[in-house]
Amino acid sequence: MIHLACSYIPYEIPLAAGIPAARGIFEGPLPSMEGYLPRDFCPYARAFIRNYKDDTVVIAESCDAMRRVYDVLRYWNLARRVYFVDVPRTCNKDAVSFYAEELKRLAFRLIGSQKSLCQESKDLRKPQGLEELQELAELQGLSERLMLSMATMNEIRKEVSQVFRLVSKGQLSAAKGIEIAVGVNQALANPGLIEEPSAFVPGGILTQRIKEMTSKATSETDPPNRSKRRIPVGVTGTCLLDPSLIECIENAGLDVVFIDSCIPLRTLDFIIDIKEKTDPFHVLAEAYLSKVPCPRMFKGTARIEHLYKLASDHGVKGLIYSAPKFCDQAYYDFIEIKHGLREMGMGYVLLLESDYGVGRTGQVLTRVEAFREILESV
Amino acid sequence: MAKTVDTRQSPRKVAGETRRIKIIRTLARKKWVHNVAGLVIKRMEKRGATEYRIAAIRAFADDLRSAYRKEKPCIYTSAFVPNELVYGLGGVPFLPEAASGFAAAFGFARESLSASESLWYPPDLCSFHRAGVGASVIGLAPQPDAVVVSSQLCDGGKRSLYQVSKAFDCPFYILDVPYTESPESLDRLARQIEEVAEGLEREVPGLSGDHMDEAIANSNSARSHYLDLCDLRRYIPSPWRGREALNYVVMFLWSWGSPWLTRFYKALKEHSESIIQQGEYPVKNERFRLAWSNLRPYYTTRLFDYLEDELGASIAFEEFSYMYWEPLDANDPYLSLAKKIMSNPGWGPIERRLEVIGKLVDEFSIDGVVQFAQWGCRQYNGAVSILSDYLRRKGIPFLSLAGDGVDERNSGEAQSLTRLGAFLELIESRDIRSSR
Amino acid sequence: MGIDVGSSVTKGVLLSDGNIVSTFMLPTGTELSITAEECIEGLLKDRGLTKKDVLYTVSTGYGRTQVKEADKTVTEITCHSRGAKALASGARLIIDIGGQDSKVIRLDEDGMVADFVMNDKCAAGTGRFLEVMAERLGVSLFDFGRMWKTAKRPANISSTCTVFAESEVISLLSAGIALDTIIRGLCDAVAERLLGMIHRVGLVPRVVMTGGVSKNEGVRLSLEKKLALKVTVPEMSQFAGAYGAAIIANESAVQR
């Protein structure tokens, strides 16, 4: 199994290779892993440190904390293989080409690791036999499989988008929406599905199962009982650690109508324009670099404009920024969002420093309720 | 949602603009103040002030005068942007991260930090970045004409300067440094450097690439003297005080490409030679030799008096001062600068840093390594468990010393002194002094 | 009626025709609902009233959900803002330093909450910090104001961490630093901690201090010096939250 650390590591690649893979989603750091990273460190990075035994982990250059996770996992032999994807911070032609090469290298290694051709080394920048792996990949028809995987992931992403359309209309709670998205992530890690021959094919077993799952989850859930008009808010941030914060916001009497976060949604919130007769890695690279901007990217005002549009389209009165404690990307992004949205005339952005289970604390409930009281008085 | 301006979010007054800040801000931009400063420096020289200190003061006085008086374009850079690029274009660099150290040393850190607090910067961010932003916004720093950052070594450096570029509405450039060195990644970086140079020439009046050869020649010349200096620092006892070396790290970050750097390192080298010849070592009874990682508290602190004078511990060398690049090639400046950037051992897998620290331990006869665990410094502090284990396997004690280099409200001096004392007792008791 | 169940002290305010007719306070202890009952009893007994005479009750504070009699719960942010505004007209910035938390609230020109920031995770900048230090030094909290005034300067004490600060105080004592200098340094440390929070919401006069620590004159003096602004401490500063809750209860009762 492959454990992915970032929304810029495409699901399409392990899917095309027929390897179960999922974004790491945790309940919190493991006490037994204390000491590998300092306590004043991103909770997600700390939770990511665990013993992966024979599994493969793929880390991206998403932030300082994850760079150190990459080092810790290798130095202390906490996984069989640890790969690194260097993700550009901009989206120009050069960046796309560079990223396409990175993704290609990742794909070849994953295929090679399946076939035990890839030498396991701690510093996996130039594994032996990369050309050999490339040949193998071509023999296996990797390019074609990748094109089909992109189409399959598009179908899956459409399903998730539909779920969140229900959330924005108040027909499904946001917490339930998150649960469904996490379920999709789990389906992508299910060997029983992914190793099936038709898994990566559009309309194949994977898509079918996910459609069944989302349909069942949305039909079984009663729409939230919203007898009184509730104030709509959006939630944004780097990564939403767990659903407790969303539940807390909803329990405090606010309607969460959109969530902009990398777990699990920024991976699942865009459609790839699949261009035939183009290098599929290039298509993948361009699509991922162009998707909804993550706080780590340097794409000018794109992120503020995106959030403002989301807020306007959903009629939100306020935005809640969920910043994992000690997440520098989140802190700086919050500053930019707060200033930027203020200039655009959007009033209220509440910063909530988060940790696992933070939504179950009285401190956060008080802040969210106070925020609701401010919005009620506007 | 309609665009309405909410009156509750009233225009923010930036904190920290105290009366003395306003006075300094005004004076810093006055011609007569810089003239007087020049005279004072000349007088110091005549009175026999130490040559290398004069060179350093002149380097900064020159650059700051050009920046404050707008005699040359002022380009803000993050700490690891090679400033040969800026000098080569005829501009002067200004490093807000380094300016934070100055702010702490000269007592302006509180105002700078207050300014950042009023702009919603959380206190868990590194104070070097917060104070840098704050000092820029309250006008203690000269106004930038453009901002250039590199993606290394940390998120705070590039993100804080991005905010500054927005505050001043000036062009912003990022060198997106690949994480691994390869011919392709070097080419990619070289192309980016060239694009940045072209962009700066286009957007900032007064910049042109005519000075690149000179900047590279200055850099290579300074480098040569610097390597000689590093050789001298291997002497036992150490010919230069570590506390001073940690102060002058600012030259190492700031001044490559400047005409003053050669003079500075040459003078410092000669000074060190003289110390060795005369046997007048700054830490007279040197009992311990330490390697120091990361920066230091730049406000007044007893730490170094305690280490050097009371306990006889020299900081023989510091990780930040490690010379990690080859001489630059004026025939291919952009590729050269790309190689310089990518050679930084702090970027890439941790093994690169471990290799350097291992070298320092061996070459400088190190008894113990201290890492100053700057609050908010994720990329350094995140490696503590690895560094500690690596050094333990080499038989070298390691101390992670929690503190804050700029915000003295965030440091417990008493705890730090206790930890250092205990660390040296540990070294002494293990009797692992390297053979002298 | 307004009941403020704080982490250290529970306060109650009873209004009649919008005027304060009774106040009561007691330590919160561990049984919050029982404490709230005792507070209500204390308020009503004073006036010879019973629960049936109360038209509407709002509860606030850390233990607000434990007040069985409450018709509505409102956060302490809103309640403190309403209470402080009523106690000091023109209040725009409220600094509330309680036993175990502190908060800064900025009001707009209409007296509505515009922004707020809370510290309820760390003892630095709270009453607890001062209690610990006072005990360590063998000084009464009531003497802090007097000693602040006699000190020639404040000792430099770290403001961010209570543990750091305590060991610094020990070092200062060993170095023979005068007690009043240390006391003034402690007040400055609390004020410094609040300063960061104040900057985040934006400083705007009129500045009003509420909560238990508002009665500590030394802290008020330190704040005034750092802000270069007068800091108003209303007579009933400790009851600001409960008073604000009572005001909201009064409005709700009228609406009913």
| Tens digits of residue pLDDT in B374-422 | 999 999 999 999 999 999 999 999 999 999 999 998 887 878 888 899 8
In this prediction, residues A8-17 reach a mean pLDDT of 94
Q: Does B10 touch chain C (CB under 8 A)?
A: yes
Could you please state the CATH topology (level 3) that the domain comprising C92-233 is classified under.
Nucleotidyltransferase; domain 5 (3.30.420)
The predicted structure's pLDDT at residue A228: 60
What b-and-e string marks burial along A103-121, b requiring 16 or more CB atoms within 10 Å of the CB?
Answer: bbbbbbbbbbbeeebbeee
Q: Which of B172, B173, B101, B174 is nearest to B141 (CA)?
A: B101
The predicted structure's pLDDT at residue C98: 87
Beta-strand pair B398-403/C19-27: unpaired
The predicted structure's pLDDT at residue A123: 41
Q: Does A378 touch chain B (CB under 8 A)?
A: yes
The predicted structure's pLDDT at residue A230: 87
Which residues of chain A does C62 touch, with a Cβ-Cβ cutoff of 8 Å?
Answer: 362, 366
Decide: helix, strand or coil at residue B411. Answer: coil
Report the domain count for chain A.
Answer: 1
Are the beta carbons of C164 and B118 separated by less than 8 Å?
no
DSSP string of B324-388, one letter each residue: -SPPP-TTSHHHHHHHHHHT-TTSSSTHHHHHHHHHHHHHTT-SEEEEEEETT-HHHHTTHHHHH
The predicted structure's pLDDT at residue B354: 98
> Domain coordinates of chain C in residue numbers?
1-88+236-256, 92-233
Cα–Cα separations (whole angstroms), residue A248 to B132, B269, B414: 37, 63, 41
Query: Closest Cα of chain A to C129: distance in Å?
Result: 19
Q: Does B408 touch chain C (CB under 8 A)?
A: yes
The predicted structure's pLDDT at residue A127: 46
Torsion of CA C148, C152, C154, C156, to 10 degrees: -160
Structure tokens at B251: 């030259």
Which residues of chain A does C196 touch, with a Cβ-Cβ cutoff of 8 Å?
Answer: none
Contacts of B84 (CB under 8 A, 6+ apart): B212, B215, B216, B218, B219, B256, B257, B328, B333, B337
* Closest CB from B4, B191, B192 relative to A345: B4
Quick check: C33 pLDDT over 60?
yes
Decide: helix, strand or coil at residue B238. Answer: coil
In a domain, A241, yes or no: no
Quick check: A129 pLDDT over 80?
no
Kindly report, residue by residue over C96-122, the tens digit of the pLDDT. Answer: 998 888 999 999 888 888 888 888 767
The predicted structure's pLDDT at residue C12: 96
Q: Confidence band (pLDDT; 50, 70, 90) for A275?
A: confident
Beta-strand pair B92-94/A348-354: unpaired
Residues 57-96 of C with CB under 8 A from B: none
Quick check: A81 pLDDT over 80?
yes
Q: Confidence band (pLDDT; 50, 70, 90) for A124?
A: very low
Residues 306-345 of A with CB under 8 A from B: 311-312, 315-317, 323, 325-326, 328-329, 331-332, 334-336, 338-339, 342, 344-345
Pure H helices in chain C? 32-45, 76-87, 127-137, 144-150, 162-174, 179-201, 217-227, 240-255
Structure tokens at A354: 């988060």
Q: Does B411 touch chain C (CB under 8 A)?
A: yes
Q: Backbone phi, then psi, for A41, in 5-degree steps?
A: -150, 155
Distance CA C209, CA C88 (A): 10
pTM of the model: 0.90
Distance CA B300, CA B260 (A): 27
Beta-strand pair C9-16/C19-27: antiparallel
| Residue range C1-88+236-256, CATH number | 3.30.420.40
Contacts of B111 (CB under 8 A, 6+ apart): B15, B16, B17, B18, B21, B134, B138, B140
Quick check: B228 pLDDT over 90?
yes
Kindly report, residue by residue over C181-221, the tens digit of the pLDDT. Answer: 999 999 998 998 898 889 888 899 999 999 989 999 999 99
Structural domains in chain B plus CATH codes = 19-30+56-208 (3.40.50.11890), 213-430 (3.40.50.11900)
Quick check: A117 pLDDT over 50?
no
Are the beta carbons of C202 and B410 separated by less than 8 Å?
no
The predicted structure's pLDDT at residue B63: 95
In this prediction, residues C44-52 reach a mean pLDDT of 90
Number of Cβ atoms within 10 Å of the Cβ of A257? 23
Q: Which of A19, A175, A196 is nearest to A111 (CA)?
A: A19
Position with higher pLDDT, A299 vs A140: A299
In this prediction, residues B176-201 reach a mean pLDDT of 96
pLDDT cut 90: percent of chain A above it: 67
Distance CA B140, CA C164 (A): 31
Are the beta carbons of C76 and A367 separated by less than 8 Å?
no
In a domain, A78, yes or no: yes
In a domain, A251, yes or no: no
In a domain, A79, yes or no: yes
Distance CA B388, CA B383 (A): 8
Pure H helices in A27-79? 43-48, 64-75
Q: What angle do the packed helices B384-393 and B351-363 form, to 10 degrees? A: 40
Structural domain harbouring A17 = 2-140
> For chain A, first and last CA: distance in Å?
50
By CA distance, what is B412's nearest residue in C?
Answer: C164
Task: Kindly report whether the peptide bond that precedes residue A193 is cis, defined as omega within 30 degrees of 0.
Answer: no
In this prediction, residues B212-221 reach a mean pLDDT of 98
Q: Confidence band (pLDDT; 50, 70, 90) for B2?
A: very low
In this prediction, residues A203-215 reach a mean pLDDT of 92
Beta-strand pair C113-119/C102-107: antiparallel
Q: Confidence band (pLDDT; 50, 70, 90) for B238?
A: very high
The predicted structure's pLDDT at residue B436: 41
Are the beta carbons of B123 and C196 separated by less than 8 Å?
yes
Distance CA C97, CA C241 (A): 12
Find out whether A75 and B386 touch, Cβ atoms under 8 Å.
yes
Find out whether A314 and A168 touch, Cβ atoms under 8 Å.
yes
The predicted structure's pLDDT at residue B5: 32
Q: Which of B84, B78, B98 is nearest to B221 (CA)?
A: B84
Find out whether C227 and C198 touch, Cβ atoms under 8 Å.
yes
Distance CA B368, CA B289 (A): 7
Average pLDDT, chain B: 93
In a domain, A123, yes or no: yes
Which residues of chain B does A336 touch, with a Cβ-Cβ cutoff of 8 Å?
Answer: 163, 166
DSSP string of A316-338, one letter each residue: -SEEEEEEETT-HHHHHHHHHHH
Residue A61 sits in a domain of what CATH number? 3.40.50.11890
Quick check: B303 pLDDT over 90?
yes
In this prediction, residues A167-194 reach a mean pLDDT of 91
By CA distance, what is B173's nearest residue in A?
Answer: A298
3-state helix, strand, coil in chain B (%, to 5): 55, 10, 35
Which residues of chain A does C76 touch, with a Cβ-Cβ cutoff of 8 Å?
Answer: 366, 370
Q: Confidence band (pLDDT; 50, 70, 90) for C160?
A: low
Pure H helices in B80-211? 84-88, 96-106, 109-118, 127-137, 155-167, 183-203
Are the beta carbons of B412 and C192 separated by less than 8 Å?
no
Q: Confidence band (pLDDT; 50, 70, 90) for B310?
A: very high
Which residues of chain B does C168 touch, with a Cβ-Cβ cutoff of 8 Å?
Answer: 412-414
Query: Closest Cα of chain C to B356: distance in Å?
Result: 34
DSSP string of B264-329, one letter each residue: HHHHHHHHHHHHHHHT--SSTT--EEEEEES----SS-SHHIIIIIIS-EEEEEEGGG---SPPP-
